[in-house]
Structure 1
Amino acid sequence: MVIGFLLIITIGTFLLSLPFSSATGERIPFLNALFTATSATCVTGLTVVDSGTAFSLFGQIVMIVLVQVGGIGFMTMATIIALALNKRISLRERLILQEALNHGTIDGVVRLVKKVIMYSVLVELAGALLLGIHFFFSLHLPLGKAAYFGVFHSVSMFNNAGFDLMGTVNGPFSGMAPFVNDPFINIVMMVLIFLGGIGFIVLSDLIEFPSARKISLHSKVVLTATACLIVIGTVVIFVMEFSNPNTLKPLHAGGKFLASLFQSVTTRSGGVATLDVGSLRQSTQFMLILLMFAGAAPGSTGGGIKITTFVLLLGAVHAMMRGRPDVILFRKRIAKDVVYKAITLTLLSLLLIILFSMLLSVTEHQDFLTILFESTSAFGTTGLSMGMTTHLSPLGKVWIVCLMFFGRIGPLTLIYALSRERKKDLYNYPEGQIIIG
């Protein structure tokens, strides 16, 4: 997985640095091409140049292909190609697919890959059709350009990438802010972000529910936790920003609610915002940091520590407070090794964010909350920014590139890739006592 993502980023960097990838015909600096290729492959959405005005049509197509491959996973794409060529999927490849898709077992993993492709195509086509028609009538774009805008933004939103081409319409880095009062655009994009963020396993469960009449524990946890976080985020943003003249105050009541809901949903890893994130109150910005850190679901196009990891941590705290030996979710006991993995993943993620926040605080002249926000957004592959990305120093760009890469593959995957072969201990140490608390 590590080598695969590095290979895709390398190819993307080479293509984006070609003269005809640039809108001006001049080569985009290597570091900017690397940053953009990494952000697209890791479906983050952070940009140092405006996607719509800096890149030519060829460059934009390269970006959206990187987003698609990075979103559903290079192993998924490779498997589909192999199946199309009637090649056999080996046991080793099935194990890698299991890890890439966060599937519980290798049983049915190839069937899941086929579903991933089918669901992705259907959802993206539906999103492209709806967005394209709306862009045609609302922005008065030519039919071909409206269709292209629809496809680009649908793929970007479903894969939780956050890239947009609105710089060609409303000026560089304008983003989706002009659509803050457009309920159609907001709802379609929120649905695309939500479907991409809950994961293909959950999506498959929901589609098959009418016939199967059951839903897995994983899907129950993801859907319940996602709904709770979206509601909590919406309420907090609405309350905190209600009187802020730079965000919600100028909007009517319905617009306030819609904008609050959209910002809460996009923290799942969507990467687009209809409000100026830099103008939000500090309390709201910190709330967004927490939501970005929790992230989306395993096996999805989103990032973060994953929402199931967040739920397991809360479950472990609850079990300890109640004096229970096990974590119980929906009347099911969770294996202890899964809980340990969740704790390990969270601590490693925190350490990575802390480390790179410290590095960025040395190289960048920004306040610490801005740096922490940018670091969490990069690691969570969210793509939201308080405006720091476009002012990064060359070394700062390198730090963010590393964070986006580590966030996409996951710290545990990186450690497994770098560690030696693990051997089982043939003995146990005697139990010791240590005082905590």
Structure 2
Amino acid sequence: MPWAAVRARADKAPPAMAVIFDGLLASSESQGGGPRRSRRALRNPGRTLVAGFAGGVLVGAALLMLPVARAGGGSAGPLEALFTATSALCVTGLAVVDTPTFWSPFGQAVILVLIQAGGFGIMTLASLLGLVITRRLGLGSRMVAAAETKSVGLGDVRTVLLGVARVSFAVEAVVALVLTVRFATTYGHPVGRSLWLGVFHSVSAFNNAGFALFSDSLVGFATDPWVCVPVMLAVVVGGLGFPVVLEILRQHRRPRRWSIHTKLTLVMTGILLVGGSVFITGAEWANPHTLGALDPAGRVLAGVFQAVMPRTAGFNSVDTGALNTGTLLGTDVLMFIGGGSAGTAGGIKVGTFAVLLLAIVAELRGDPDVDLFDRRLMAGTIRQALAVALLSVAAVVVSTVALSMTSPYSLDEVLFEVVSAFATVGLSTGITADLAAGHQIVLVVLMFAGRLGPVTLASALVLRERGRFFRRPEGRPLIG
């Protein structure tokens, strides 16, 4: 049958059959070795995501190395450009140079585009552009987008992509408007400057990037709720994950019908936000270098702000380097856990942490199964959560040991920077810019691995699942 006829039938086919037709069309339109590469991409969409992000980092670094990207003449060095591009695309926020003074408006615009592309998912963004242009998606594009957005079915990817775009731009627009008005009316910035500040910080907040156009981040607005609260809300919404946000919008009147993933993410997010706020506010209440210098209302606002940011947004309203050692360690834990899956947050994700916690509780109670919201968790889910968590711990420990043995900084400072990089948070004790070139490259690798590692690892584990027709006899080694 001519392929024109196949395409005509695909346009009229039901959604379920459209997926099959799209797969045939994608294979037919890739000639000269293309189908073989396409099949490889379909088998491992995570590999395509990694390649896409790596290409985005290289393009961003090349743009930042242009003389026009740097303020005051000259051009950025390769490491400065690579570090900044990786931090922006991986929505981290760590920096080796002062963003508002080192980069020109063009360079800041490049950083903003990288943040938006990284938060939205560079492969998801490419699929959305393809949808807008061609009004259709092939099977390959759907699988790649599904790996990024955690769509349940391939037929839902189109809806998810459009929903992601609407939610992202809607939240960013509202927050940008509030910040623009505040910067213009209260702090006397010109309208154009206020608009740029509002848009930049809104996009940076929603995508959990933490880049700021003020040298001290948001320390100058520590007691201003009209700046801090919109930024916090954007961080929380972006950190919940797109599947959660979209399901809440669709089923906001019927919370009983929310999926187990949505319920788990909301519960754990609430616990971590409340617990983190109480912990940080109490631990830093009398510290004259952080919350102790503010009035009581300002201390509460700054304490809550500092508890929200470790969910992988690197803004800070107090000097992070002046936090108590215990507060730094607690912040390490919050950063490592991170936010929701399939969103702009990093870390091992609250779902992974919750599954492991529930597995521990079930074992202590002697329960044979791990139950959650009247459902029994599959053994494969628990194994995948354990693999993601332990490999993440290994990455953090190895990097911390390597940097602490070869740098003059204390263990708590090095651990904080490593966890911040791996969890794509961006908070810093102030040592990142002073680290040696080799140490900064380690942080670059951690940021890249932290942004893509958990999702690609989880996808790979799912794809590697296979059935067995036999089971070996049980064995029980001694534990503990």
The answer to whether the 8 A contact 2:348-2:454 is kept is no
- Preserved CA contact (<8 Å) 2:399 2:442: yes
Determine if contact 1:2/1:414 at 8 Å carries over to the other structure. Answer: no
Q: Are the counterparts in 1 of residues 335 and 425 from structure 2 also a CA contact under 8 Å?
A: yes
Among candidates 226, 243, 250, match of residue 201 of structure 1: 243
For the Cα contact (< 8 Å) 1:277–1:385, is it kept in 2?
yes
Q: Do the aligned partners of 1:363 and 1:395 also contact (CA within 8 Å) in 2? A: no
Query: Which letter does structure 2 place at the counterpart of 1:153?
Result: H
- Say if 1:270 and 1:382, in contact at 8 Å, map to a contact too: yes
Alignment equivalent of 2:146, drawn from 98, 119, 138: 98
Equivalent residue number for residue 229 of structure 2: 187
Match of 1:291 among 317, 334, 339: 334
The equivalent residue for 1:252 is: 295
Counterpart among 116, 120, 124 of residue 68 in structure 1: 116
CA distance in 1, matches of 2:258, 2:467: 36
Q: Is 2:121 aligned against 1:78?
A: no
Choose which of 387, 393, 399 in structure 2 pairs with 1:356: 399
Moved more, 358-367 or 182-191: 358-367
For the residue of structure 2 that corresponds to 1:267, the secondary structure is: helix
Is the contact made by 2:264 and 2:351 (CA closer than 8 Å) also made in structure 1? yes
Does 2:386 match 1:343?
yes
1:171: which partner in 2? none
Write the distance in 1 (CA, Å) between the matches of 2:242 and 2:457: 23
Residue 98 of structure 1 contacts residue 106 of structure 1 at CA under 8 Å; is this kept in 2? Answer: yes
Residue type of the alignment partner of 1:80? L
Tell me the equivalent position of 1:170. none
Query: How far is the alpha carbon of 1:96 from its aligned partner?
Result: 2.0
Secondary structure, counterpart of 2:357 in structure 1: helix
Q: Displacement, 1:416?
A: 6.9
Between 1:214-223 and 1:409-418, the stretch displaced more is: 409-418
Deviations 1:290-310 (A, max 9, x none): 000000100110100001101
The range that moved more, 43-52 or 427-436, is 427-436
Q: Is the 8 A contact 1:132 1:150 kept in 2?
A: yes
One-letter amino acid of the structure 1 residue matched with residue 266 of structure 2 = L
How far apart are 1:104 and its partner, in Å? Answer: 3.4
Deviations 1:212-243 (A, max 9, x none): 55322111111111111011111111111111
3-state SS of 2:311 partner: coil
Deviation at 1:271, TM superposition (A): 0.8
3-state SS of paired residue (1:189):
helix
Closer, same or farther in 2 for the Cα pair 1:417/1:199, shift >3 Å? closer
Size of the aligned set, in residue pairs, is: 431
Task: Provide the C-alpha distance between the structure 2 equivalents of 1:422 and 1:229, rounded to a whole number of angstroms.
Answer: 32
Partners in 2 of 1:276 and 1:104 — Cα distance?
42
Against the structure 1 CA distance between its residues 331 and 71, is the aligned structure 2 distance closer, same or farther, given a 3 Å change threshold?
same
- Which residue does the alignment assign to 1:305? 348
AA of the residue aligned to 2:291? L
Supply the distance in 2 between the matched residues of 1:21 and 1:93 (Cα, whole angstroms): 33
Maintained 8 Å contact 2:178/2:226: no
Aligned partners of 1:411, 1:115: CA distance in 2, in Å?
23
Counterpart amino acid of residue 250 in structure 2: E
2:401 match: secondary structure: helix
Counterpart in the other structure of 2:433: 390
Taking the aligned partners of 1:211 and 1:257, their CA distance within structure 2 comes to: 32
Task: Describe the shift of the 1:226–1:417 C-alpha distance in structure 2 as closer, same or farther (beyond 3 A).
Answer: closer
Residue 135 of structure 2 is aligned to residue 135 of structure 1: no
Asked if the contact 1:345/1:412 (under 8 Å) is kept, the reply is no
SS of the residue corresponding to residue 293 of structure 2 reads: coil
Cα distance in 2 for partners of 1:379, 1:355 equals 12
Q: Say which structure is richer in helix.
A: 2
Q: What one-letter code is carried by the residue in structure 2 that aligns with 1:162?
A: G
The code of the aligned residue for 1:58 comes to F
Give 1:177 deviation, angstroms.
0.6
- Cα deviation, residue 195, structure 1: 0.7
Query: 1:35 maps to what in 2?
Result: 83
Whole-angstrom CA distance in 1 between matches of 2:214 and 2:286: 28
Report SS of the residue matched to 2:154.
Answer: coil
State how 1:157-306 maps to structure 2 within 5 Å. 157-167=205-215, 174-210=216-252, 212=254, 214-306=257-349
Deviations 1:344-402 (A, max 9, x none): 00000000001111221233211011111100000000000011111111001100000
- CA-based RMSD of the aligned residues comes to 1.9
Distance 1:302 1:412, change over 3 A: closer
Deviations 1:227-280 (A, max 9, x none): 110111111111111111111112111111111100001111111010111111
Residue type at the aligned position of 2:415: L
SS of 1:350 mapped into structure 2: helix
1-side partners of 2:441 and 2:248: how far apart? 40
- State the Cα distance separating 1:332 from its structure 2 match: 1.6
SS in structure 2 at match of 1:122: helix
| Secondary structure of 1:148's aligned partner | helix
Amino acid corresponding to residue 83 of structure 2 in structure 1 = F
Query: 1:88 maps to which residue?
Result: 136
Mapped to 1, the partners of 2:464 and 2:261 lie a distance apart of 30
Question: Structure 2 CA distance, aligned partners of 1:431 and 1:221?
Answer: 33
Q: Is the 8 A contact 2:388 2:458 kept in 1?
A: no
Higher Rg: 2
| Equivalent position amino acid for 1:388 in 2 | I
- Secondary structure at the aligned position of 2:291 is classed as coil
Q: Secondary structure at the match of 1:249?
A: helix
Instruction: Identify unmatched segments of 5+ residues in structure 1.
Output: 168-173
Q: For each residue in 1:119-158, what CA deviation from the matched residue of structure 2 results, as whole angstroms up to 9, or x when unmatched?
A: 1011101111110111112221111111011100100000
- What is the Cα deviation at residue 426 of structure 1? 5.9
| Cα distance change on mapping 1:326 and 1:424 into 2, 3 Å | closer
Give the distance between the partners of 1:422 and 1:312, measured in 2 at CA. 19
Q: Which blocks of at least 5 consecutive residues in structure 2 are unaligned?
A: 1-48
- CA separation in 2, counterparts of 1:412 and 1:5? 13
Match of 2:100 among 52, 57, 72: 52
